[in-house]
Homo-oligomer: A and B are copies of this chain.
Amino acid sequence: MNLEKIHLLETELENLEKAVKMRRKLIEKKTKKVLKNVPFKNFPYEDIYKRCCENVIGYIQIPLGLAGPLLINEKEYYLPMSTTEGTLVASVSRGSKAISLSGGCKTNIINDGMTRAPVLTCKDLQEAILIKDYCIKNFDKIKDIFESTSLYAKLLKIKSTIIGKHIYLRFKSFTGDAMGMNMVGKATQKVLQSLLEIFPQTKLISLSGNMCTDKKATAINFIEGRGKSVVSECIIKEEIVKSVLRTTPEKLIYLNYVKNFIGSSASISIGGNNAHAANIVSAIFLACGQDIAQCVESSHCMTLFEWHENKKDLYMSVTMPCLEVGTIGGGTHLPAQSAMLDLLNIKGSCEIPGENAKQLAIVICSAVLAGELSLMAALSTNELIDSHMKLNRKNKE
């Protein structure tokens, strides 16, 4: 068989697992490598064919652990995390314990909407201004066109940015329980068709002009929000900081200021005022079938440690302005991933559209709260170095 055609095996063999087997053989022959350690059995290929991956030769396995339980808005959750970073699950569990013992965390969604921003090049500035004005004056009409493409989409806002004769239209939409990129893309295309008929001299340059912004670190996402914007907060009692986390509120507050604010500001960061939010986001994204490339901006996070108003306990919060998550689509239907969404009671579409996806965002944000607390505690003590230093000083005396 011609290797040029190995992507057509599924069509030719009419059996998906057989196609995978045949492809492995062909690759083995061609590369003189052995693929026997790549697992491929017991996998629902029908669920990914023409949907999730092409030229499949099997699957990878990543360990799945449960952190927690964590008390979020007065309910207990086990947190599914898929990772190869040792101690990560244990660390989130420690943070969860400290939070839960203090009464749990409170959390809420403060913004919700997926975005897509096509770019159009106009005849001149004047035409760009006409398009901007048109979008303001005809918002309801555009909204109708936009929403005609889907049962769930609700157009919330069009933010126009004019640069010379180019105009970037950032469409923001509610997308139910889907992460929503496809939904918004399709709806945006429909709107563009209508716009281009009204402004025939204008050219569509791209369905995405990078002001959306998908899978890159940009200020516009942090400032305007993308996906879910979530905050989670808690108050940790001083004695629990000491007993569970082996540090003090004072140490944590100072560390947060020196590391997550001075350090992150001096390195010039977008969304980087945190210790390791990306670790927790990526582990839950994997476990719950999310689009892992969206970790780039979904892990933007601002972590605060302050004195509680009693000047004794610790106030802590994490703010995540662009968590892009869904409970349908992507890899959410794969066996383990689907089971993990079920474990969180948010599998598939919710009767009240969007509530499952929001709940996933809330769980991730709260898990980040726990992860930040635990790592910051560990860093604040510098145990390894401190003990060495003490020993050394003693020896000198």
Contacts and interface: CB of A to CB of B under 8 A. Distances in A.
Given A106-B125, A274-B216, A35 B339 contact: yes
Given A57-B64, A60-B286, A218-B269, A262 B302 contact: yes
A164 B207 CA distance: 26
B392 A193 contact: yes
Nearest to A212: B267
A211 B121 CA distance: 29
| Copies held by the complex | 4
A27 B67 CA distance: 12
A342 B258 contact: no
Nearest to A209: B263
Nearest to A274: B216
A4 to B, nearest CB: 9
Nearest to A379: B206
B330 A85 contact: yes
Given A35-B339, A319-B162, A282 B295 contact: yes
Interface string A31-45: 101110111001100
Given A33-B342, A125-B231, A193-B389, A60 B205 contact: no
A215 B280 CA distance: 11
Contacts of A338: 37
Contact of A54 (B90, B300, B331): B90
Contacts of A350: none
Contacts of A272: 210, 213, 216-218
A99 to B, nearest CB: 15
A185 to B, nearest CB: 10
A257 B267 contact: no
Nearest to A211: B267
A162 B210 CA distance: 23
Contact of A206 (B206, B318, B382): B382
Q: Name the residue among A23, A223, A380, A385 with the largest chain B CB count within 10 angstroms.
A: A223
A243 interface: no
Contacts of A51: 86
A266 B168 contact: yes
B207 A382 contact: yes
Q: Is the interface of A mostly helix, strand, loop or mixed?
A: mixed
A84 B211 contact: no
A129 interface: yes
- Interface residue range, chain A: 35 or more
Nearest to A69: B3
A197 B390 CA distance: 11
A161 interface: yes
Interface in A189-218: 189, 192-193, 196-197, 204-211, 213-218
A152 interface: no
Given A165-B317, A208-B259, A296-B217, A331 B62 contact: yes
A3 B78 CA distance: 11
Interface in A239-273: 254-255, 257-273
Interface string A303-339: 0101000000001011100000000001100111111
A124 interface: yes
A217 B219 contact: no
Contacts of A129: 108, 110
A247 B343 CA distance: 47
9 contacts: A27-B343, A39-B335, A39-B336, A59-B63, A106-B125, A163-B231, A166-B258, A209-B263, A276-B293
| Ranked 3 nearest A-B pairs via Cβ | A216-B272, A217-B217, A164-B317
Given A60-B64, A193-B389, A265-B273, 20 more contacts: A27-B78, A38-B64, A52-B63, A53-B64, A54-B90, A55-B67, A55-B90, A60-B82, A83-B292, A119-B259, A164-B302, A164-B318, A166-B262, A193-B392, A207-B379, A211-B266, A219-B267, A257-B257, A257-B261, A261-B262
